[in-house]
Amino acid sequence: MKKILIANRGEIAIRVMKTAKKMGIKTVAVYSTIDRQSPHVKFADEAVLIGEAPSNKSYLLGEKIIEVAKKMHVDAIHPGYGFLSENADFAELCEANQITFIGPKSKAIKIMGSKLAAKEAVKAYDIPMVPGTDEAITDIPEAKKIANAIGFPILIKASAGGGGKGMRIVENAKEFESQMDRAISEAINAFGDGSVFIEKYVATPRHIEIQIMADTHGNIVHLFERECSIQRRHQKVVEEAPSSVLTSSLRQKMGEAAVKVAKACDYIGAGTVEFLLDEQHNFYFLEMNTRLQVEHPVTELVTNTDLVELQIQVARGETLPFKQSDLKITGHALELRVYAEDPLNDFLPSVGHLDTYKLPTGKGIRVDNGFEQGMDIPIYYDPMLAKLITYGNTREEAIELMIEAIAAYEIEGVETTLPFGTYVCEHDAFRSGNFDTHFVKNHYAPEKLIEQQKSEARIAALIAIKSHMAKQKLLRLPD
């Protein structure tokens, strides 16, 4: 494998390129017109324009990307995450054109891309699942009967869903029909597929995911868990490894279950199996993401691995360089997704110009970044600027380092999730480990963040005044 095309943009494109460069592999970037001057374009060995700014006219054009790959004589395509990373048709297109897709086979993507098909596939492996329907349903009266049998509250979820779309929590029978209509409508608009399924709603869950890696020789390992419960609108914002609530016994059980899920679909490469953990620490299979995860760096830091390097090695047909018994967790890692969003205004996207953009540096600080000072934030793509990751010997050390790193991260021109990251890290619920996916709903209010910022500003002003007065006193001292 001498040359790889990265079918993505921003920080993940650069992240993949860094590992490829380390492995002596040339890289090809693709870019849209608005990304012409983006860092990932400059970082690659070669770069090719593929279309206009909207993703459906550039980064989602599978056939165009294949055309570029053939023209540039690449051996493989790494899809990153988002865009075409979980598109079975694109994986098939790569296979048909004798280009290695750095990821699972299209069959596994298809199975795990449908929540219902995924449930069906793992049934034989005795993996715990939340009580619910086994097949897609659109008949509202029939669905209501099922909901009553399961017991409220229930969750309606789009079968082809993701990112919180086509998802509705229904507290009681009265609101069931209207919520079902909304879920189906949203699913059709977002995915072109109105099929939904119903399951028991776990009221105070934690979101725990297990990283797996599988080679083409039948070896599958898990690289332990990531805690992903700090979310807004069903999207993760803060992640960490390991979880503060998993015992070694529970960790082993969840890891073994994740490996079984991978076996259920003949999985190859890096994947993530997601679970819900209830108050009694019962875990339930949620879904499998058939790609590299945004939060993969925390796993890399606590296991001392390079997941992208492992993806490439597996794609080349190599055997995994370790066994399950070789893997262990060392230290603690924390990740904050730095989104161009306003945490004071319901996390709405904050479009603008990066007047100031300076990254924090230092021991235990990693920034996977896709922007630079002077750039505009495009409206066409996910608003994530970078991922800020900290690593320490203990959870407390990683949290304190995160607070310091956020303070040292200089951004002017757009609002970001950095202040929210500080808020989370300083909150008693997070620090104690006693939190769930409702952290934002239960503990976060913009006015609290405003008060916190005012308090910090007052302290900074007092320090400045004290420093100024001390200097004046020194100036007045006689010779």
Give pLDDT tens digits for 222-239: 999 999 999 988 889 999
pLDDT of 261: 97
pTM: 0.88
Q: Does CATH place domain 206-447 in 3.30.470.20? A: yes
Record: fold of 3-102: Rossmann fold (3.40.50)
Please name the helix (run of DSSP H) or strand (run of DSSP E) that holds residue 303, with its range, or none: helix 296-303
3-state SS assignment for residue 6: strand
Is 291 in the active site? Answer: yes
| CA end-to-end span of the chain | 73
Residues of the chain whose pLDDT is less than 50?
Answer: none
Catalytic residue selected from 15, 168, 206, 291: 291
Q: Where are the domains of the chain?
A: 3-102, 131-200, 206-447, 450-479
Q: Give one DSSP letter per residue of 207-218, joined into a string.
A: EEEEEEEE-TTS
- Give dist(CA 12, CA 369) in Å, integer: 8
Asked whether 158 and 167 are in contact (CB, 8 A), the reply is yes
For residues 218 and 450, is the Cβ–Cβ distance under 8 A? no
For residues 189 and 185, give the distance between their C-alpha atoms in angstroms, rounded to a whole number: 6
d(CA 218, CA 302): 25
Are residues 60 and 85 in contact, defined by beta-carbon separation less than 8 angstroms?
A: no
- For residue 195, which of 122, 244, 143 has the smallest C-alpha distance? 143
Helix (H, G, I), strand (E, B) or coil at 124: helix
Q: Which CATH number fits domain 131-200: 3.90.550.10, 3.40.50.2300, 3.30.1490.20, 3.40.50.11900?
A: 3.30.1490.20
Angle, vertex CA 382, rays to CA 434 and CA 34, nearest 5: 155
The residue behind tokens 């970037």 is: 29
Contacts (Cβ under 8 Å, ≥6 apart) of 283: 128, 208, 250, 253, 254, 257, 275, 276, 277
Judge if the upstream peptide bond of residue 153 is cis by omega within 30 degrees of 0.
yes
Q: Do 290 and 266 form a contact (C-beta atoms < 8 A)?
A: no
In the 3-class helix/strand/coil scheme, how is 20-81 assigned residue by residue?
A: HHHCCCEEEEEEEHHHCCCHHHHHCCEEEEEECCCHHHCCCCHHHHHHHHHHCCCCEEECCC
CA distances, 424 to each of 205, 231, 264, 341, 439 (Å): 18, 11, 37, 16, 9
pLDDT of residue 479: 52
8-state DSSP, 320: P
